Structure 1
Amino acid sequence: MRILILILLLWPAMAFSQSRAAVEGQFRGWLDQAVWPRAAQTGVARPTFDAAFAGVTLNWDLPDLVPPGMAPTGGGGQAEFGAPGRYFDRGGLDGAASVGRQMAQTHAATLAAVERATGVPGRIILGIWGRESGYGRAEIPHDVFQVLGTKGFMSTRAAYFTDELVAALQIAQAGAAPRGMKSSWAGALGQPQFMPSNYLAHAADGDGDGRADIWGSEADTIASIGTYLARHGWVPGRDWGFEVTLPATVSCTLEGPDQGRTIADWAAMGVNRVGGAAFPASEMPGVGFLMLPAGRTGPAFVVTPNFYALKEYNTSDVYALFVGHVGDRIQYGVSDFTAGWGAVDTLRRSDVAAAQRRLEGLGHDVGGADGLAGFKTRRSIGRWQAATGQAETCFPSAAVVTALTR
């Protein structure tokens, strides 16, 4: 009887183990039947392919996995809606700026050379490098072939990760050691955290040794970041943006990269730099865009097209803002934003998504009901508030969600 009870207790674990073993077998078959033919077409040799996957098994701890025969789970419904100010914690800002100033001195010659070649200021490159990998000090622990193999075989974005897996094989074919190609849990490589396709397109040789080593070479990392931004629209000679004061007479619904006007026009409307400083004369005829990451509950900015070049690196408004701000702290010694981050109501992303769907039903373009507050959602809230006789805040709150979804 004891033996029977023990078997019954162990049976779920035994069955799960057998199930995993079966999936591992399917994984090896998928590599040979689906991935290898695609890799071979790009010039990857069989010895490179075999070396890349030697000893590689599925990583069952990665997020968003959908094992064969299972339906994707909804996931994320109870995730908390994030306050933008959290991105700018004291430790993160001070650490990135302090180490960044050291790196600016250590790599001054390389930063200057890359700026001459790409037009991207060194302080901006440092801001990205610091954010992505702590200037190369952060651990990058994963094997890219395990990560991308797992996600290409069984994730919610399998096609995308399979494409990246083939790109990673091309990098190995060009000479990178497969076990040295360390990545994040999402497959982003090395110190600049390039996805493999971005490595193939934009990785650069900054130290003149004939290869782009974004894992071990600081010069290559700096050159690669600068090259990426230059190829994604960085405008030499322009800044990324300026913190401003937004008068009550200027609607927060004017935010967005599709509502640009010259910086001189913004200034004529009473949108001025904080502290009373004038906008640089060279910027006045250039186009600028209102950017309010927390609506009227936080700092306001007029940004240039270079802000959106930064968003090509990471699509988050607060990411681009962090990079620009840290760069300014490194080079100019600026302190915190003048305006503080206001309190944000505790909401779930599912609550915000429900409000977004209601706004869509009212004819607003919110940029998708994803539970995030991008500029389209922010200004849609402001337009709805104005149409219903409310004060424009241009940001989700408990009151906004309740009014829209009741």
Structure 2
Amino acid sequence: MAANPALAALQCGNDSSGFARWVDEFKRVAPANGINPSVVERAFANVSYNRATISADRGQKSFKLSFEEFLKKRGGAAIVSRGKTMKKNQAQLLASIERRYGVPAGPLLAIWGMETGFGNFMGDQHTLSAVATLAYDCRRSAYFTEQLYAALQLVARGDLSVNARGAAHGEIGQTQFLPLNVIRYGADGDGDGHVDMVRSRADALASTANFLKGHGWRPGAGYQPGEPNFVAIQGWNAASVYQRAIAYLGAQIDGK
């Protein structure tokens, strides 16, 4: 959803002092941007300025590590070992996803493992507070205002709880989608009529495959650096060390 130009008038800030005022103004203009007032009130009932989110946003140091250091910090060997087991245990699901989207198991399992340890830890920050805090924060206000509107759409359609908890930047579920990516690429992998990125591994993995397809994934092509599908992996994360890790771990899991 494109934000209304009127949103530019909202006063961003770099500390908590103006957050309550910003929330009041956002709640006033949100209905004019297509969000039901009752959804806005429900979504913001427990929203507060999230200092942990700001701290995380200012301190993303692991992406400055060498490739070897990054793999060690992320538990690369454990991801490969568990990923191979998951590939066997989830063979039917992964095969159906590959038929539908053309994405093989390896990179999906590498992403799943790196993002949340295969769903073991999806974050403990209040999602709506995290996204609202970053929408208010001056560093990337426009980008996260768009994410906040997407989060409100998810609340409205019943795909995000107002009490949901996730990662520090508002990433949701087993493969850590930002709200707008759930809107754009979320897939109902288990056929229940909803996109539940938290409780449904089928939804999370199908959505991840759909994201990669949407970023240019070509069935059957390679996904290592320099090969056609590495471009889609680059769409997943801007850090080159992260991109290389997905490709490397994926190949190890796929036995290549």
Shorter chain as denominator, the TM-score bin is 0.7 to 0.9
In structure 1, what residue type is equivalent to 2:20?
R
Displacement of 1:222 in angstroms is 0.8
Please tell me whether residue 196 in structure 1 is matched to residue 179 in structure 2: yes
Displacement of 1:330 in angstroms is 1.5
Q: 1:43 aligns with which of 17, 34, 48?
A: 34
In structure 2, what is the equivalent of residue 253 of structure 1? none
The 5 Å alignment of 1:162-241 reads 162-241=145-224
**Change in 2 beyond 3 A, CA 1:218/1:208:** same
TM-score (norm 1): 0.55
The 5 Å alignment of 1:7-406 reads 23=17, 26-37=18-29, 39-63=30-54, 82-89=65-72, 92-241=75-224, 303-332=226-255
Q: Distance in 1 between matches of 2:64 and 2:115?
A: 23
Alpha-carbon displacement from aligned partner over 1:355-396 (angstroms, at most 9, x marks no partner): xxxxxxxxxxxxxxxxxxxxxxxxxxxxxxxxxxxxxxxxxx
Q: Distance in 2 between matches of 1:81 and 1:43?
A: 40
In structure 2, what residue type is equivalent to 1:150?
T
Displacement of 1:160 in angstroms is 1.4
| Partner secondary structure for residue 225 of structure 1 | helix
In structure 2, what residue type is equivalent to 1:313?
W
TM-score (norm 2): 0.85
In structure 2, what residue type is equivalent to 1:214?
M
Q: Alignment RMSD, CA only?
A: 2.6
**Change in 2 beyond 3 A, CA 1:85/1:36:** farther
Say if 2:101 and 2:213, in contact at 8 Å, map to a contact too.
yes
Say if 2:134 and 2:140, in contact at 8 Å, map to a contact too.
yes
| Partner secondary structure for residue 89 of structure 1 | helix
Say if 1:42 and 1:170, in contact at 8 Å, map to a contact too.
no
Say if 2:187 and 2:203, in contact at 8 Å, map to a contact too.
yes
Say if 1:140 and 1:183, in contact at 8 Å, map to a contact too.
yes
Q: Distance in 1 between matches of 2:62 and 2:76?
A: 25
| Partner secondary structure for residue 111 of structure 1 | helix
Which runs of 5 or more residues in structure 2 are unaligned? 1-14
Displacement of 1:196 in angstroms is 0.8
Displacement of 1:307 in angstroms is 0.8
Which runs of 5 or more residues in structure 1 are unaligned? 1-19, 66-74, 242-301, 335-406
Q: Distance in 2 between matches of 1:165 and 1:174?
A: 14
Say if 2:189 and 2:206, in contact at 8 Å, map to a contact too.
yes
In structure 2, what residue type is equivalent to 1:50?
E
Displacement of 1:185 in angstroms is 0.7
Larger Rg: 1
In structure 2, what is the equivalent of residue 367 of structure 1? none
Name the one with the larger strand percent.
1
Name the one with the larger helix percent.
2
Alpha-carbon displacement from aligned partner over 1:111-165 (angstroms, at most 9, x marks no partner): 1111001111111111111111111012411111111111211241122112211
Displacement of 1:59 in angstroms is 1.6
In structure 2, what residue type is equivalent to 1:226?
A
Displacement of 1:326 in angstroms is 1.2
Q: Distance in 2 between matches of 1:167 and 1:312?
A: 19
Say if 1:132 and 1:191, in contact at 8 Å, map to a contact too.
yes
Percentage of pairs with the same residue: 32
Alpha-carbon displacement from aligned partner over 1:169-214 (angstroms, at most 9, x marks no partner): 1110111343343221111111111111111000100001011100
Alpha-carbon displacement from aligned partner over 1:317-337 (angstroms, at most 9, x marks no partner): 2212211221222221x6xxx
Q: Distance in 2 between matches of 1:85 and 1:329?
A: 15
Displacement of 1:220 in angstroms is 0.4
Displacement of 1:85 in angstroms is 2.3
Displacement of 1:35 in angstroms is 4.6
**Change in 2 beyond 3 A, CA 1:79/1:220:** closer
Say if 1:43 and 1:170, in contact at 8 Å, map to a contact too.
no
The runs of at least 4 aligned residues of structure 1 exceeding 4 Å deviation read 78-81
